[in-house]
Structure 1
Amino acid sequence: MQRGNDRLSVHRDDEMKHELQGLLRSGHPTRTEEWHDPEPTADDDPEVAGGPVAPGSTGAPFETVRLELARILGRTSFPAGPGELTAVLRRENAPDVLVEALERLPRKDRYQNVQELAEALTRPGNAGSENAGRGSQ
């Protein structure tokens, strides 16, 4: 006879073992443990399956790059040039591919907002583009 300070009775313990039996045997979620399943992704979630957002890659459309830049930079970072924005990205621990893409932009250009910056980063051949950064006037 066990005389411990158990919170559960022997019957409840057996009941809990029975509830977990399907999960333990199969190794994957069963219908009785729906609360344990991960939530499916939403349609507007950024794509993370291919790794970090990389401007200019086929897996990173303009909207995704703009969303990631807006999330990291915010409104207070503008207007600014690539040097200032690179410093902010590094301080905020942004993905390296995003920082490296920003470093390839012409140093003399200035960007008024995230929209202009994202356009410059996603434009084909952004490293030597003369039109990158419309705010350079």
Structure 2
Amino acid sequence: MITFYKMVVFIHIFSAIIGMGPGFILTTVVKAGTNMTELRHSYRLRHRLHIFVMVGGALLLVTGLTLGFLNPSLFHTGWYVTSLVLFLAALAIGPIVLSPRSKPVKTLLDSYQGEKIPDEYWRLSKILFRYENLENVIFIIIIALMILKPF
């Protein structure tokens, strides 16, 4: 018989797949655009994928904390606390770092006339993607901590 704890672990793992999986390709999706029409379409797809990231991320946080409250000894393990701190930091990166850097890109996509992708886009996206890649590294570290439980 499956215990409540195992059911929460199950939901937690699926939340990671649903939330983090698409998150790793958000940058790749928009790099495929070769003109403004394709680029705008890529950003619409990216927005749809980001919904999975947000839902999965919220479920990850809720189920991760639930696991901690069901098994309070987790709050005394280094891998759990480090994962939680890194996850909260990654969540904070969204509104604090990514949002201000994505707004100029969105404005450019909405206002630019023509099909040739302007140089300004490449400059802005390079900065945005650098922070998105940093966030992906944080998530890879979290996944490694969850699997290996090294300390």
Q: TM-score, normalised by structure 2?
A: 0.21
Larger radius of gyration: 1
User: What TM-score do the two structures reach when normalised by structure 1?
Assistant: 0.23
In terms of fraction of residues, the more helix-rich structure is: 2
